[in-house]
Chain A
Amino acid sequence: MTAEPQNYLNGEYTIKSWLLTTDHKRIGLLYLLTILFFFVIAAFAAGLMRLELLTPQGDLVSSDTYNKLFTIHGVMMVWFFLIPSIPSVLGNFLVPLMIGARDVAFPRLNLLSWYLFVLGGFFTFHAVILGGVDTGWTFYTPYSSTYSNSHVTEMALGIFIAGFGSILTGLNFIITIQKMRAPGLTWFRLPLFIWSMFATSIILVLATPVLAITLLLMGVERIWGIGIFNPKLGGDPVLFQHLFWFYSHPAVYIMILPGMGVVSEIIPCFSRKQIFGYKFVAFSSVAIAVIGFLVWGHHMFVSSQSIYAGMAFSLLSFLVSIPSAIKVFNWTATLYRGSISFEAPMLYVLGFIGLFVVGGLTGLFLATLAVDVHVHGTYFVVAHFHYIMVGGMVTAFMAGIHFWWPKITGRLYPEKWAQFSAIILFIGFNLTFFPQFVLGYLGMPRRVHEYAPEFQVYNVLSTAGATILGVGYLLPLIYLLWSLKNGPRADQNPWQAAGLEWKTASPPPEHNFEETPVITEEAYAYPPLTSSQPTPEEPHG
């Protein structure tokens, strides 16, 4: 083995050096391992649910078990996988590198965030081991606060604690992006990933406290045995929904905005072109973050909320679709007159756009009041948000992991395998979730373990798709692990990409840059493509 130059991975090997690290790159990897753990549990729960739904009868698991499975799946996927996925893993790794900083603004706080996340995860996991929770991830009162006989309080405590981790991560990014940029790196020279992380951090910081207080009120009500969401005391259960969705709708944008940031990095790189409409893409992230706070009531169109409030929320929900549409248009326009190659990250990104467009357009169906009355609480909604969160966010996460894998590990992954599994993922995903749109319009309610026989054919299709999707997730896990030892070594910039993170070694040294970089050009300054000659093939695996 040739001697490697000193980098953040090989400085020290002790467990202590990892558990007490304040290096943002190592913390990013700690998050990666942790969320992988929760992803596996949550995916396993999903697998069991899909198996149960093969037949209309509730024959594999009891209704109680099924209810606990979808709660585990929801809670772990939302709070312990999706929300920390791109922000805490890729965000932690990349934000300081992309802005030319030595670390985030508050490195010890960053480590504390991870510990809070792990502690929250511990309580949540412990609640599952004790017997689980059967409220669904939404914890609607009064079921959660009064009627459920499961470990609601402990799971809520876990989410509450992990929430503080989120808040501190968001705070760290906001200050880092505000104050730690390298000389010359003005706002409009920032990579779009940074813009989207900034927008995400605003949501993390301003929405998560409301979740914290909501869960606190619900928990106190449960412990005290009496409370303000309890109709027996004159409380209004719908008020809980207002508070819950004030966080949980913006949380959807926590899940999708970073994915959009990843896409905005990868498309220019594989088209060898400056992104089209930089400022519009940048401001659309901020617009999504802000308008995203104004639309939560569209989860409550049939909740007995005032119909006039429903109309206001419907209008605002239509408006929030505009900035997302602008992004898709600009990504498409970026391809125009580019020099496009189809390595795995690009394939994942193209898959992302396909799935996100379907998810976004079906979002319009749900924003349309009268249609929502029919499809609310059915599989149509399930399909819609999986298209956004799994089709969107997880696909973007895969794209990002592949794109920055050489930077993170210093190794190249096997390209052919990666391309193959990107395609498998796309096919499996569509087969799993597209039939659910049909099921939803047919009227199959969500959160049921048995259903009318006429729905079976679509459920069988969906379960078949889920197995393919499972392969699509398992394959990368295998070949990425394999590449850690056996992949060819990556040089500083295997994709010939623009961006500060590629101007340092792979893996980067502990302090990121040998000397503080000075920035004189815009983001995505790819060399102009003047001739009609194709650019030379790049030397990589």
Chain B
Amino acid sequence: MNFPIFPKSASTTAVQTDHLFFLLLAFSAVMMALIFLPMFFFLYKYRRQSNADRSSRKLPTEYIEITWTVIPVFISLAFFALGARAYFNEEVPPADTLQINCVGKQWMWKFQHQEGNREINELHLPVDRPVTLTLASEDVIHSFYVPAFRIKQDVVPGRFTTEWFQPTSTGSYRFYCTEYCGMDHAKMAGTVIVMTPADYQDWLEHGSVRDTLAQSGEALFRTLGCSGCHAGNSAIHAPPLEGLYGRLVPLSDGTFVRADDQYLRDSILNPASQITAGYAPVMPAYAGRLSEENLLQLIAYLKSLAKETPPKTP
């Protein structure tokens, strides 16, 4: 049996979380000393058998109470601020991260890289590069947790969530599902393998991959018949998708919505809920007809169109 006392630390997040943790440990030690030392002293000195002076003494009760109320308030505020700042850093990803898709289902994790490589319960990553996982669930709530990175995010069905981190040293680290999800919840775990950029590139190229993520999406785009309407020369009047991603889209009820992953998701699965201004609500709903994986591929394809300019409609 080995006797670990502290988890491996392998991301930029881990460093800041550990700093806070040690600060809290130190504070707790001080607090325990402040409570238990006087307590033991009183328990000993004023034990019933002792001869200590017990005559009642007028203490400035109000001042004492205010002191030990107000000081903890300020200390709390400080911890809150530190925790909130670190939280903000680890929840909001920086620009230009490596995007990887991750789908949780009872009871496995599936990943797909931009280059098209797929893995199950194993995730290969390059070191020192910020990574964003786009998380989706096929069934119930899961949670993706890598202890060595000190990050965790619930994977909620019906919605994408994201989680970003930057691995700082190569090696293998375990990941887990930390939201109870049914019978084999305990088995829904795996390993993150952090590699040097060269090794990662090598690994990507040696996978048996036919299409990149966006290419798979494009294939779906055709087989599902999306291109029939959304192509520039189609007879049916459908909004063009080139240059759509990231833009503000005017809706028929006069509001605007940002075309982000969630918008694309909702518009594919249930188009009637957000009709683009100037178009008829004729698109069929794809809810229940697409797996989360395929959905993510479609969205990757739509994202790849972001830089193209929409064709002029006649």
Per the CB under 8 Å rule, do A and B touch in the complex? yes
Residues of A within 8 A of B (CB): 58, 63-64, 67, 134-136, 138, 140, 142-143, 146-148, 231-232, 234-238, 271, 276-277, 280, 301-304, 307, 310-311, 314-315, 318-319, 321-322, 325-326, 328-330, 332-333, 335-342, 350, 353-354, 357-358, 361-362, 364-365, 367-374, 376-378, 438, 441-443, 445-454, 456-457, 460, 528-535, 537
Given the known inter-chain contacts A64-B183, A368-B24, please indicate yes or no for A318 contacting B152, CB distance below 8 A.
no
User: Which residue of chain A has its CB nearest to the CB of B39?
Assistant: A332
- Report whether B1 and A368 are in contact in the complex, using a CB–CB cutoff of 8 Å: no
- Report whether B83 and A534 are in contact in the complex, using a CB–CB cutoff of 8 Å: no
User: Which residue of chain B has its CB nearest to the CB of A271?
Assistant: B46
A to B CB contacts below 8 Å, 17 in the list: A58-B186, A143-B181, A147-B106, A280-B65, A304-B156, A322-B76, A325-B68, A326-B69, A337-B56, A350-B43, A361-B27, A364-B28, A373-B87, A528-B56, A530-B54, A532-B55, A534-B48
Given the known inter-chain contacts A332-B42, A341-B48, please indicate yes or no for A378 contacting B179, CB distance below 8 A.
no
Q: Give the distance to chain B from A218, nearest Cβ to Cβ, in Å.
A: 14
User: Which residue of chain A has its CB nearest to the CB of B28?
Assistant: A361
Q: Give the distance to chain B from A139, nearest Cβ to Cβ, in Å.
A: 11
C-alpha spacing A333/B65, complex, angstroms:
11
Given the known inter-chain contacts A237-B156, A304-B156, please indicate yes or no for A377 contacting B145, CB distance below 8 A.
yes
B187 partner residues in chain A, CB cutoff 8 A: 63, 450
- Report whether A445 and B176 are in contact in the complex, using a CB–CB cutoff of 8 Å: yes
- Report whether A373 and B80 are in contact in the complex, using a CB–CB cutoff of 8 Å: no
A277 partner residues in chain B, CB cutoff 8 A: 61, 64-65
- Report whether B46 and A374 are in contact in the complex, using a CB–CB cutoff of 8 Å: no
Among A143, A339, A369, which residue has its beta carbon within 8 angstroms of that of B140?
A143
Among B21, B48, B159, B288, which residue has its beta carbon within 8 angstroms of that of A365?
B21
- Report whether B47 and A373 are in contact in the complex, using a CB–CB cutoff of 8 Å: no
Among B20, B61, B161, which residue has its beta carbon within 8 angstroms of that of A368?
B20
User: Which residue of chain A has its CB nearest to the CB of B153?
Assistant: A302
Given the known inter-chain contacts A337-B54, A369-B87, please indicate yes or no for A450 contacting B39, CB distance below 8 A.
no
A136 partner residues in chain B, CB cutoff 8 A: 180
Asked whether B303 is an interface residue with its Cβ less than 8 Å from the other chain, the reply is: no
- The total of interchain contacts (Cβ-Cβ below 8 angstroms) comes to 274
B140 partner residues in chain A, CB cutoff 8 A: 140, 142-143, 146-147
Q: Give the distance to chain A from B55, nearest Cβ to Cβ, in Å.
A: 5
Interface size on B, residues (CB 8 A): 91
- Report whether B154 and A336 are in contact in the complex, using a CB–CB cutoff of 8 Å: no
Q: Give the distance to chain A from B104, nearest Cβ to Cβ, in Å.
A: 13
Contact pattern, B 16-30, Cβ under 8 Å of A = 1, otherwise 0: 110011001001100
- Report whether A340 and B42 are in contact in the complex, using a CB–CB cutoff of 8 Å: yes
C-alpha spacing A456/B4, complex, angstroms:
10
- Report whether A236 and B158 are in contact in the complex, using a CB–CB cutoff of 8 Å: yes
User: Which residue of chain A has its CB nearest to the CB of B160?
Assistant: A304
Among B52, B84, B145, B177, which residue has its beta carbon within 8 angstroms of that of A443?
B145
User: Which residue of chain B has its CB nearest to the CB of A537?
Assistant: B48
Asked whether B236 is an interface residue with its Cβ less than 8 Å from the other chain, the reply is: no
Contact pattern, B 182-210, Cβ under 8 Å of A = 1, otherwise 0: 11111100000000000000000000000
Q: Give the distance to chain B from A296, nearest Cβ to Cβ, in Å.
A: 16
- Report whether A337 and B52 are in contact in the complex, using a CB–CB cutoff of 8 Å: yes
Asked whether B141 is an interface residue with its Cβ less than 8 Å from the other chain, the reply is: yes
C-alpha spacing A146/B156, complex, angstroms:
14
- Report whether B87 and A63 are in contact in the complex, using a CB–CB cutoff of 8 Å: no
A135 partner residues in chain B, CB cutoff 8 A: 180
C-alpha spacing A301/B91, complex, angstroms:
10
Q: Give the distance to chain A from B253, nearest Cβ to Cβ, in Å.
A: 17
- Report whether A237 and B157 are in contact in the complex, using a CB–CB cutoff of 8 Å: yes
Q: Give the distance to chain B from A282, nearest Cβ to Cβ, in Å.
A: 12
A368 partner residues in chain B, CB cutoff 8 A: 20, 24, 79-80, 82-83
Known: A445-B178, A447-B185, A530-B55. 5 other contacts (CB 8 A): A231-B158, A280-B65, A321-B72, A332-B42, A531-B55
- Report whether B35 and A332 are in contact in the complex, using a CB–CB cutoff of 8 Å: yes
- Report whether B42 and A335 are in contact in the complex, using a CB–CB cutoff of 8 Å: yes
- Report whether B152 and A377 are in contact in the complex, using a CB–CB cutoff of 8 Å: yes
C-alpha spacing A288/B91, complex, angstroms:
30
User: Which residue of chain B has its CB nearest to the CB of A374?
Assistant: B150
C-alpha spacing A368/B90, complex, angstroms:
13
B158 partner residues in chain A, CB cutoff 8 A: 231-232, 234-237
Q: Identify which of B2, B83, B139 gathers the most chain A CB atoms within 10 Å of its CB.
A: B83
A452 partner residues in chain B, CB cutoff 8 A: 174
A321 partner residues in chain B, CB cutoff 8 A: 72, 76
Given the known inter-chain contacts A63-B186, A357-B35, please indicate yes or no for A457 contacting B79, CB distance below 8 A.
no
- Report whether A531 and B87 are in contact in the complex, using a CB–CB cutoff of 8 Å: no
- Report whether B86 and A326 are in contact in the complex, using a CB–CB cutoff of 8 Å: no
Q: Identify which of A325, A367, A368 gathers the most chain B CB atoms within 10 Å of its CB.
A: A368
Asked whether B223 is an interface residue with its Cβ less than 8 Å from the other chain, the reply is: no
Among A307, A353, A528, which residue has its beta carbon within 8 angstroms of that of B91?
A307
Q: Give the distance to chain A from B37, nearest Cβ to Cβ, in Å.
A: 10
Q: Give the distance to chain B from A416, nearest Cβ to Cβ, in Å.
A: 17
C-alpha spacing A142/B142, complex, angstroms:
11
Asked whether B73 is an interface residue with its Cβ less than 8 Å from the other chain, the reply is: yes
B2 partner residues in chain A, CB cutoff 8 A: 454, 457
- Report whether B174 and A364 are in contact in the complex, using a CB–CB cutoff of 8 Å: no
7 A-B pairs with the lowest CB-CB distances in the bound complex, closest first: A443-B147, A231-B158, A370-B86, A369-B87, A377-B178, A368-B83, A448-B186
